[in-house]
């Protein structure tokens, strides 16, 4: 590839150039337009969570996050990108906190990885199942409050957006699956970036007092092109991404601060082939934390679904009986917690770590690359292949709840209004739910599972031939078997009757 080619401006579709919407997105307060409605919604959920009906399917606090948010987030990731993080209401107090912490310290170096995020995801999925969060409006309201507090505190202490980048389970989920999204932040012309003085996309254009930045100096030594950074400017990238070097959507919250801060209008939200970054080795750090995040999250998709099907209850009783927990005199809730922790620990962490290490080791042995590749390289190289299969599991699971409960929000909202003396929308019709023909839902789930599996097989096969050359087929085999095993388990799980959550018809 010639140097000339390397610096050709990128002319891909740019969402920030769309009529009206593009201008709105680039506007200084553009993000606020999306955040304010979601902030109001979050406050409404907290209010209804504490004061509304106890029945989960009649309370906005349980319906909106556990049925609608989770379904819509998958659709948004597939069709556009990380839209939820773009409109995330938890970052509103963060914006204030971040201004407080401009001179704060950085997040501790030892914690700057994805291990906390993996633990956070594990914890939220475990607590969700153990404490039946989906059935408790008040508990869900407390979770929303915890998000606001966590975001504010971390942003107030540290300079970068530590909560988004290292902690937030919702954001981490979005980061992983936005790697298949069709939009990505990119610098449009690398030549402009090379000579850019302020690198405002990263450093921000906000200054408490205005300063003049000189972009170009003429042959007479006088500035010929300048711009001013000042109080009207924008903060730079909170997750410390540098626009001209971005190759992945991981860690990008789609806040568009980089586009607003760039004085040369050189940042775009550019189109790309969906999933292309899974095949781009430079987009993936060869680190265990990133790899295990992707692999464990795919397995969490299975474990989470397992928590809703009949065999889990038999298994829990067997484990509790086998370990003698029932005779210890502790509460049923404590016994359930211990047993679920064991199931989640094995299924969401032990199995993915063990099986992926085994597949990597077998691939090294079979391709005779033990001396060339460390186990870490052999494993992390194939981590992107677990994105599509994982997304398939989550789409099948969240899609199920969304499809059978999609219209349930209407009577719930009517009921909320009536409870507060507003009869504007009439009386609730509790028969409104969603798709009642479960064979249609099953078909959609099967398509999601098969699509994810096939996507993963293609990615794994391409990686194998790129990495192992002529031994590509051999190197592909252990990973293909692991992916096939996961898909078969997924097919079995989603063929079992699932608990119907979030719709009155099935409460």
- Contact indicator for 61, 139 with CB cutoff of 8 Å: no
Selection from 369, 364, 393 nearest residue 294 by Cα: 393
- Number of chain residues interacting with ligand SF4 (CB under 6 A): 25
In sequence order, the β-bridge partners of residue 230 are: 206
Among 46, 162, 252, 298, binds ligand SF4 (CB under 6 A): 252
Q: Is 373 in the site for ligand SF4 (CB under 6 A)?
A: no
| Collapsed DSSP state (helix, strand, coil) of residue 340 | helix
Binding residue for ligand SF4, selected from 199, 207, 285, 287, defined by CB under 6 A: 199
Using rule CB under 6 A, residue 57 touches ligand SF4: no
What helix, strand, coil percent values describe the chain, rounded to 5? 65, 5, 30
Nearer to ligand SF4 by C-beta: 258 or 504?
A: 258
Nearer to ligand SF4, 92 or 320 (CB): 92
DSSP 8-state code for residue 211 = E
- Cβ distance to ligand SF4 smaller for residue 141 or 255: 255
Render 195-209 in DSSP notation, one character per residue.
T-SS-HHHH-SB-SS
* Tokens read off for 254: 């789609």
Residue nearest to ligand SF4 (CB): 196
Which residue, 255 or 460, has its beta carbon nearer to ligand SF4? Answer: 255
Nearer to ligand SF4 by Cβ, of 91 and 367: the residue is: 91
Tokens of 376: 């870490």
The answer to whether 338 contacts ligand SF4 (rule: CB under 6 A) is no
Q: Which 383-402 residues touch ligand SF4, going by CB under 6 A?
A: none
Tokens representing 449 are 């599972």
Nearer Cβ to ligand SF4 (167/241): 241
- Minimum separation from the CB atom of position 263 to ligand SF4 (A): 6
- Choices 63-71, 233-241, 287-295, 296-304; region in contact with ligand SF4 by CB under 6 A: 233-241
187 binds ligand SF4 (CB under 6 A): yes
Contact pick of 16, 170, 253, 293 for ligand SF4 (by CB under 6 A): 253
Distance CA 492, CA 482 (A): 16
280 forms bridges with which residues in the sheet?
A: none
Q: Could you tell me which residues are beta bridge partners of residue 223?
A: 217
Output 49 or 244, the one with its CB closest to ligand SF4: 244
Identify whether the C-beta of residue 134 lies closer than 8 Å to the C-beta of residue 69: no
CB of 327 to ligand SF4, least distance (A): 52
Q: Which is nearer to ligand SF4, 166 or 306 (CB)?
A: 166
Which of positions 147-186 make contact with ligand SF4 (CB under 6 A)? 185
State residue 372 phi and psi, 5-degree precision.
-75, -45
- Interacting residues of 414 by C-beta distance below 8 A, sequence separation 6+: 425, 426, 427, 428, 429
List the one residue from 200, 362, 448, 455 that touches ligand SF4 (CB under 6 A): 200
- Tokens 């006088």: give the residue: 222
- The verdict on 241 binding ligand SF4 (CB under 6 A) reads yes
Binding status of residue 256 toward ligand SF4 by CB under 6 A = yes
Q: What's 409's DSSP letter? A: H
CB nearer to ligand SF4: give 162 or 262: 262
Contact between 237 and ligand SF4 by CB under 6 A: the answer reads yes
* H helix count then E strand count, the chain: 23, 4
Q: How far is the CB of 257 from ligand SF4 (least distance, A)?
A: 4
Name, in order, each residue with C-beta under 8 angstroms of 444's C-beta and a sequence gap of 6 or more: 396, 399, 403
Three-state DSSP class for residue 4: helix
Collapsed DSSP state (helix, strand, coil) of residue 447:
helix
* DSSP assigned state of 245: G
Q: How far is CA 129 from the centre of its chain?
A: 19
Using only C-alpha atoms, what is the Rg of the chain? Answer: 24
Annotate each residue in 257-286 with x if it binds ligand SF4 (CB under 6 A) or - if it does not, as one string: xx---x-x-xx-------------------
Nearest-approach distance from CB 76 to ligand SF4, in angstroms = 15
Residues numbered 87-126 forming contacts with ligand SF4, rule: CB under 6 A: none
> What residues make contact with ligand SF4 under the rule CB under 6 A?
185, 187, 192-193, 196, 199-201, 237, 239, 241, 243-244, 246, 252-258, 262, 264, 266-267
């Amino acid at each position: 590839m010639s140097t000339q080619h390397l610096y050709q401006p990128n002319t891909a579709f740019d969402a920030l150039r769309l009529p009206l919407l593009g201008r709105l997105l680039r506007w200084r307060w553009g993000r606020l337009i999306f955040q304010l409605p979601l902030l109001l919604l979050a406050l409404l959920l907290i209010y209804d969570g504490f004061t509304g009906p106890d029945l989960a399917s009649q309370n906005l606090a349980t319906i909106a996050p556990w049925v609608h948010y989770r379904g819509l987030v998958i659709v948004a990731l597939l069709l556009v990108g990380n839209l939820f993080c773009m409109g995330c209401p938890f970052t509103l107090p963060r914006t204030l906190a971040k201004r407080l912490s401009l001179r704060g310290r950085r997040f501790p170096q030892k914690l700057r990885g994805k291990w906390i995020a993996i633990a956070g995801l594990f914890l939220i999925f475990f607590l969700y199942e153990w404490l039946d969060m989906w059935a408790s409006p008040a508990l869900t309201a407390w979770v929303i409050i915890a998000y606001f507090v966590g975001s504010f505190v971390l942003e107030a202490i540290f300079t970068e957006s530590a909560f988004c980048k290292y902690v937030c389970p919702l954001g981490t989920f979005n980061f992983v699956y936005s790697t298949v999204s069709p939009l990505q932040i990119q610098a449009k012309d690398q030549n402009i970036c090379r000579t850019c003085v302020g690198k405002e996309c990263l450093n921000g254009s906000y200054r408490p007092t205005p300063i003049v930045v000189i972009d170009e100096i003429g042959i007479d030594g006088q500035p010929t092109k300048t711009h001013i950074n000042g109080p009207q400017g924008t903060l730079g990238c909170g997750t410390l991404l540098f626009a001209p070097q971005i190759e992945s959507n991981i860690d990008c919250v789609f806040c568009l601060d980089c586009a607003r801060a760039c004085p040369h209008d050189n940042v775009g939200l550019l189109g790309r082939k969906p999933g292309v970054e899974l095949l781009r080795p430079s987009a993936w750090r060869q680190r265990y934390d990133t790899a295990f995040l992707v692999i464990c999250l795919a397995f969490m998709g299975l474990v989470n679904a397992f928590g809703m099907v009949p065999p889990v209850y038999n298994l829990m009783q067997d484990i509790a009986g086998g370990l003698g927990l029932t005779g210890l005199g502790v509460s049923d809730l404590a016994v359930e917690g211990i047993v679920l922790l064991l199931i989640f620990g094995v299924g969401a962490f032990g199995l993915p770590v063990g099986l992926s290490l085994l597949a990597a080791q077998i691939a090294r042995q079979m391709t005779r690359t033990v001396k060339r590749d460390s186990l870490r390289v052999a494993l992390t190289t194939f981590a992107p292949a677990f994105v599509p299969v994982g997304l398939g599991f989550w789409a099948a699971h969240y899609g199920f709840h969304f499809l059978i409960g999609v219209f349930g929000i209407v009577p719930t909202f009517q009921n909320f209004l009536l409870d507060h003396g507003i009869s504007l929308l009439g009386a609730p019709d509790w028969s409104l739910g969603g798709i009642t023909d479960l064979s249609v839902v099953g078909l959609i789930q099967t398509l999601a599972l098969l699509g994810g599996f096939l996507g993963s097989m293609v990615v794994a096969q391409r990686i194998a031939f790129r990495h192992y050359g002529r031994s590509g087929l051999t190197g592909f085999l252990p990973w293909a078997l692991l992916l096939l095993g996961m898909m078969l388990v997924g097919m079995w799980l989603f063929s079992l009757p699932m608990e119907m959550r979030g719709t009155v018809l099935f409460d």
